[in-house]
Structure 1
Amino acid sequence: MLNEETVLGLKRFDKLFIIVISITVGGLLGWFIPVIIDWVLELPFVPMEGIISIIDSLNHFWVSVVATIVGVIAGIAFIVYVFHVTLKVKVSDKQITLILGEMRRDIHKQAISAIFMENKTLIILGENSKEIFREDLEVKKEEAKEAFLYYGYPWKNEDPFIKDYQRWELGNNQYPSDINSILYARERALKEDNEEEAKQLREDLAKLGVVIQDKQKAQYIRLIKQG
């Protein structure tokens, strides 16, 4: 009998490591703030020198105490943020539940045609080879493979349509003008390292039936299979 579900994401050790390191680093930076300030004030140019000098004039012990508390709080805030933006995947016999930030999405097994990973990115294909999900997953590929195969999902060792991709270049008239316009905008976003815009434009292209692979800021695309 299959287990009810398997959870993929940060392990207990990973979470413990993040918690300990974040709080320790935040606390230590806070405690040594007086030493850091003394070093900063020796630099030839110091931004906000007046404010820093006022802090330096205060009792160093209490400055360390207050800064340590602030550093620990900042470390906790960082921990909450990391856990919030890290993908968590629940795999069961009937569906996959994807949790990322405020997003919670269920994808039923029947709606999935292929699952695979490219480096740390989990990719799920649906009907007609359409890409229906893509996000980084903090687990090893073999661990993900074992979990998905255990519940009977169509795991692939690589993109099953890898031979269908073609490099897109400016001036390519093979595709409709609306697709070319978005690809041009996305290429510019990639060159400017604007990851959020590139991600949004990828989603816009997916709605038009275009799947993308990025290789050294070059875009390789394929159109979804119809029928």
Structure 2
Amino acid sequence: MQNETVLGLSKLDKAIIIIGGPLLGAIIGWFIQIISSWLIKIPFVPFGLFFEWIVSWNSFWVSIIGVIAGLIAGILFALYAFSESLKMTITDQEVTMKRYDKEVQLQKSEISAIYMDRKDIVVLGQKGEELYRAQTDVKLLKIEAALLEHRFPWKTQDPYQSDYQRWVPEHPDFPASVNSLLAAREKALKEDDEKEAAILRNDLADKGAAIRDEDKRQYVRMIRG
């Protein structure tokens, strides 16, 4: 049996999500009529008519239905939290990343560096290209210890940090196609459209561009070779 280390949600995290989510939902559901009566007193509160409608119903049945709806919402939240969290399985030969039921296996021979970019774990290939990037809540020291134990090339920072340039529209050092994608991505960042920004990051990676974000500003390096 090969030696492996699994990193992800701790037992405490899992317990909080499994118990806390449905419990909080049920509590809010039980007191939904009281909460609604407070909310309708706030000027211009969104969905004011909906809260007025809740207040108008028989309080006992509103509480029962609210508890059921809260439990369901809590369970759905727990399922989402489990699928959203990154699970890393590390062996002496490879690292497997699983998130949103999407699994990526990376062989040690493919990897030149692994480091943390704020809350993102980043895996670089032998040419300096990004092989994988995803957010994780696992503590940095745990990740570092596990990767070093299995002799992966852990780095305390991006080894290409000095190669990045601040992007501005029509940057002269980047191809026109890269500048166009960066302009679209800047718009997505300003609109807090994380999904579109992630898709555009992948599109840019296909064109040989690696991105580092700082306060919605984009810093770019082109992959050598």
For the aligned pair, the TM-score class normalised by the smaller chain equals over 0.9
Cα shift at 1:60: 1.4
Task: Classify 1:42/1:104 alpha carbon distance in 2 versus 1 (closer, same or farther; 3 Å).
Answer: same
Mapped to 2, the partners of 1:45 and 1:185 lie a distance apart of: 34
Cα shift at 1:57: 4.0
Cα shift at 1:110: 0.6
Which residue does the alignment assign to 2:184?
185
Letter in 1 for 2:111: I
Q: Does the CA-based 8 Å contact 1:87-1:135 persist in structure 2?
A: yes
Please say if 1:28 is aligned against 2:27: yes
Unaligned runs of 5+ in 1: none
**TM-score, normalising length: structure 2:** 0.92
Q: 1:131-146 alignment to 2 at 5 Å? A: 131-146=130-145
What is the DSSP-based 3-state SS (H/G/I as helix, E as strand, rest coil) of the residue aligned with 1:171?
Answer: coil
Q: 1:122-201 alignment to 2 at 5 Å? A: 122-201=121-200
Task: Classify 1:218/1:56 alpha carbon distance in 2 versus 1 (closer, same or farther; 3 Å).
Answer: closer
**Partner deviation per Cα, 1:56-91 (whole Å, 9 max, x = no partner):** 344312221221111011101100011111111100
**Partner deviation per Cα, 1:7-43 (whole Å, 9 max, x = no partner):** 1111111111122321221011111012123334445
Mapped to 2, the partners of 1:208 and 1:45 lie a distance apart of: 47
Mapped to 2, the partners of 1:130 and 1:40 lie a distance apart of: 51
Mapped to 2, the partners of 1:43 and 1:60 lie a distance apart of: 21
**Partner deviation per Cα, 1:147-203 (whole Å, 9 max, x = no partner):** 001001000010011111111111322221111111111112112221111111110
Mapped to 2, the partners of 1:149 and 1:199 lie a distance apart of: 29
Mapped to 1, the partners of 2:16 and 2:151 lie a distance apart of: 33
Cα shift at 1:218: 1.4
Which residue does the alignment assign to 2:111?
112
Q: Does the CA-based 8 Å contact 1:120-1:140 persist in structure 2?
A: no
Please say if 1:72 is aligned against 2:51: no
Task: Classify 1:33/1:149 alpha carbon distance in 2 versus 1 (closer, same or farther; 3 Å).
Answer: same
Unaligned runs of 5+ in 2: none
What is the DSSP-based 3-state SS (H/G/I as helix, E as strand, rest coil) of the residue aligned with 2:82?
Answer: helix
Which residue does the alignment assign to 1:82?
81
Mean Cα displacement is larger for which, 83-92 or 28-37? 28-37
How many residues are treated as equivalent by the alignment?
224
Letter in 1 for 2:80: Y
Task: Classify 1:222/1:41 alpha carbon distance in 2 versus 1 (closer, same or farther; 3 Å).
Answer: closer
Q: Does the CA-based 8 Å contact 2:18-2:78 persist in structure 1?
A: yes
Task: Classify 1:52/1:222 alpha carbon distance in 2 versus 1 (closer, same or farther; 3 Å).
Answer: closer
What is the DSSP-based 3-state SS (H/G/I as helix, E as strand, rest coil) of the residue aligned with 2:127?
Answer: helix
